[in-house]
Amino acid sequence: MSGFAEYAPGVARQAVDVVVRPAVAADLTACAELIVTRTGGSVEQRRGRLEGDLANPERYTVVAEIDGAVVGYGAVIRHQLSPEDPPNTAPDGYYLIGLIIAPDRRRHGIGELLTRERMRWTAERADEIYYFANLANGAILDLNERFGFTEVTRDFTFPNAPLKPGTCVLLRAALRS
């Protein structure tokens, strides 16, 4: 099991009414529950990290809501190199992270809506944006290719990310022409 949703390119999307908006404190438990469905761990611990993210002006958390329920989550963080980082550490910049959609709401275009919003927010602050993904996650790689992401390297590290050598790729997209 890869931990990623089964990917079926070409499957027709189902129409749903989705509201995409910045997260507020009342959303954080639902976001933490989404994270735990994919990564495990404790909802309380994940919620604590999300509270810190929400308070940080260099981070942006966005949710997708259907009928008042949070069904998707994504974030942007600003990464800055430190002198202790190894030479192959991913570059300074804004990074898309944590795109997670409730299993019963996948294939509705929600990931695309959350990505578009995160890129809009970042474009107000930077000329480019990064993300990294597991090479086995075809859904996210295809999604972000549509947004103009191109490969930077497969030889990189990222602080506090459990990346296994040879399994991930770092990508970048320009936000302004």
Q: What does the pLDDT look like over 70-120, one tens digit per residue?
A: 999 999 999 999 999 999 999 999 999 989 999 888 878 899 999 999 999
Using 50, 70 and 90 to split pLDDT, how confident is the model at 1?
very low
- The pLDDT of residue 171 is above 50: yes
* Full-model pTM: 0.87
Half-sphere exposure of 139 (CA within 13 A, CB side): 19
Residue 4's pLDDT is: 47
Q: What is the largest CA-CA distance in the chain?
A: 48
Q: Which tokens is 120 given?
A: 């809009």
| The pairing of beta strand 93-101 with beta strand 168-174 | unpaired
Residue 177's pLDDT is: 62
Residue 54's pLDDT is: 94
- Is 40 a member of any domain? yes
Q: In terms of pLDDT, which residue wins out, 4 or 92?
A: 92
Tell me what the mean pLDDT of segment 44-62 comes to.
94
- Is 10 a member of any domain? no
- Is 144 a member of any domain? yes
Residue 82's pLDDT is: 92
Using 50, 70 and 90 to split pLDDT, how confident is the model at 15?
low
Query: 101 CB contacts (<8 Å, ≥6 apart)?
Result: 5, 34, 64, 71, 72, 108, 110, 111
Domain with 96 in it: 19-174
Domain count, the chain: 1
CATH code of 77's domain: 3.40.630.30
- Is 12 a member of any domain? no
- Is 3 a member of any domain? no
- Is 6 a member of any domain? no
- Is 151 a member of any domain? yes
Q: In terms of pLDDT, which residue wins out, 11 or 55?
A: 55
Using 50, 70 and 90 to split pLDDT, how confident is the model at 172?
very high
Residue 16's pLDDT is: 66
Q: Which of 96, 105, 55, 62 is nearest to 76 (CA)?
A: 96
Report the chain's mean pLDDT, rounded to a whole number.
88
Using 50, 70 and 90 to split pLDDT, how confident is the model at 12?
very low
Tell me what the mean pLDDT of segment 136-140 comes to.
84
- Is 4 a member of any domain? no
